[in-house]
Structure 1
Amino acid sequence: TLGYDVLGVEPTEEGSQRARERHGLTVHRGVFEHVEIPEAPVDVVSFIHVFEHLKDPRAALARAWEVLRPGGYLLIELPAYDAWSRHLLGRRWRQFISDHDRFYTGPVLARLIKDAGFRILEERKVGKVMTPRLLADRLGRYYSRALAGGLLAAATALGLANKRFALNLGDIRLVVARKPLGGRPDLELDGRPEAEHLRSTR
């Protein structure tokens, strides 16, 4: 946990138990929007490949606001619906799976976050650490088994099947936002936070 006190929220008993046993984490079972979090206020709330599964994203953001301390951070990582790979692959896009309930373009997600009172600090597309073996598995699952088999055979012959490398397909978006230090919604005027606008006009 890199020195941080980490806790989680998990709706299923099986998932909660697995997190406790494997990682020794404090896990509260329930839906994030409604579960009690006695450790609040917290420094960071992260939705890492969670937001696309939520039925009510506005309620989740409101709950994140409640449990974060003023100045706390919000992290959201999720499929980028406006990715070039979705336009290229259409229905075969790897993010089109049954339990992904909602998809977001950058502007739509930004509007939701700002409407909840947060100030966005960073937004970018991120990649993953892969191996040829893992990439072949994904290719075979979503696109072409023949292509996957050829890739794995070549990588194995070269002794590279488990060699790690970075891969960015532009289909994962990371947003970092912050709850204002004043603990009030970050109203914006002319694209600038209200406090900054007031300072510049005095």
Structure 2
Amino acid sequence: MSGEQHTPGTSAKRSRTATVAELRPRYQADLAQGTERFFDRRRTDCPWCGSTRLRERLRTPDLFQHKPGRFFLDECQQCGHVFQNPRLNGAGLEFYYRDFYDGLGEKDLDGVFTGPGREKMYRRRAESLKPFDRTPKNWLDVGTGHGHFCATARTVFPGTAFDGLDFSAGIELAERAGRIDRGFRGGFTELARQELLGRYDAVSMYHYLEHSTDPRGELRAAWQAIHPGGHLLIEVPDPQSRLARVLGRWWLPWLQPQHLNFLPVANLRQELTALGFTVVAEEHAEPHDTVDLLGAVWLSLNAVAPPEDAPWLTTPTDRIHRLLRAALLLAGVPALLLATTLDRLLVKPIAHRLGLSNAYRVIARRPETPPG
């Protein structure tokens, strides 16, 4: 070690700088081949109902990480399904997920999932099962990330064993931290046919289906993992929210390029019924998250401010740009505070009545006996 003295935060800053420099060659090699290779061919029909009556709903760059690329959402005029078109392929998903939840972005995202109000939200999600099952023995949280929901849900159901499943390395972090009893890393559709078959009283998918390339397959996997009498809990963004149309690309739940499919609640109910589930609850007011106006202001600020240094940028961000970014974000603090207040005091109380809810929750039960 050198005898150099560091002010608080300097080592963390230098660590990020070194990490960015280390990652830059790989990202630049990826981008040298162009971003077109990250997409499947554009569809001419709806992946949910097959209709060819499509219209463009949204076009946007990456407003979160500023990774290169442009993304499009189409809406089916027959069934209302909204989907990314053209959709990211496997290479694209790997590229755009890289350093978002893990790696370079792990610290920031961990702060989001443990921020103010998150624990209360996780508790309400868990409590939504109580009217239908007060003592589930085992629960699988699909797309669990770092396992923060399970950690809070234990306080609601202290006798329940909580397992988690995720594609990312976050599942291993969640298991090491003791937030889940057992972690499974991989695809739900494959694991549900094997070691997870019929194991669970409850399976939850909180803001998971919108990330899936095959939502129908995920629902079939849930049917397989839940034993008769068990319950499936789903929460997803609501593409029919009026705020989604008003705010356009600045509506946070669009989360491009990661969110691939947006299901209107009628489509989800119909599919669950076709699989044999009985829908026992549908909620719109309570799942609404107070982030719409705050998210719109933040995304706007992030769009106009110089980007934070990142390995997918061609050249490192210099000191002048970093200072300018900090100044613009600081100047935006009053707008962020006002948006937060309006989200909580104005939008939240009237969200469901005016069709502004940004999410909905469905709870479905697998019958004790096979249907019909």
For this structure pair, what is the TM-score category when the shorter chain's length is used for normalisation? 0.7 to 0.9
Does 2:174 align with 1:16? no
Task: Return the letter of the residue paired with 1:106.
Answer: V
Q: Secondary structure at the match of 2:217?
A: helix
**Deviations along 1:46-76, whole A, 9 cap, x unmatched?**
1001011111122211111112111110100
User: Of the two structures, which has the highest relative contact order with CA contacts closer than 8 Å and spacing of 6 or more?
Assistant: 1
Compared CA separation, residues 27 and 104, structure 1 to 2 (3 A): same
Distance 1:140 1:171 in 2: 16
Does 2:219 align with 1:61? yes
Deviation at 1:79, TM superposition (A): 0.2
- Larger helix share, 1 or 2: 2
Distance 2:269 2:239 in 1: 13
Deviates more, 1:72-81 or 1:143-152: 143-152
Does 2:276 align with 1:117? yes
Distance 2:198 2:278 in 1: 20
Q: TM-score under structure 2 normalisation? A: 0.42
Distance 1:83 1:38 in 2: 35
State which of 98, 105, 125 in structure 1 corresponds to 2:264. Answer: 105
Unaligned runs of 5+ in 2: 1-153, 302-328
Task: Return the letter of the residue paired with 1:20.
Answer: E
**Deviations along 1:135-192, whole A, 9 cap, x unmatched?**
886343234569952245679xxxx99xx9894550111001100111x23x5xxxxx
Compared CA separation, residues 9 and 37, structure 1 to 2 (3 A): farther
Distance 1:56 1:154 in 2: 39
Q: Secondary structure at the match of 2:260?
A: coil
Q: Secondary structure at the match of 2:189?
A: coil
Distance 1:23 1:128 in 2: 29
Provide the alpha-carbon RMSD of the alignment: 3.1
Deviates more, 1:55-64 or 1:170-179: 55-64
Does 2:239 align with 1:81? yes
**Deviations along 1:108-144, whole A, 9 cap, x unmatched?**
11112112111111112134676xxx88863432345
Check the 8 A contact 1:136/1:148 in 2, yes or no.
no
How many residue pairs get matched? 175
Distance 2:240 2:263 in 1: 8
Q: Which residue of 1 aligns with 2:297?
A: 140
Check the 8 A contact 2:234/2:361 in 1, yes or no.
yes
Q: Which residue of 2 aligns with 1:199?
A: none
Check the 8 A contact 1:11/1:29 in 2, yes or no.
yes
Check the 8 A contact 2:251/2:296 in 1, yes or no.
no
Deviation at 1:18, TM superposition (A): 1.2
Q: Which residue of 2 aligns with 1:176?
A: 363
Compared CA separation, residues 147 and 52, structure 1 to 2 (3 A): farther
Q: TM-score under structure 1 normalisation? A: 0.73
Q: Secondary structure at the match of 2:244?
A: helix
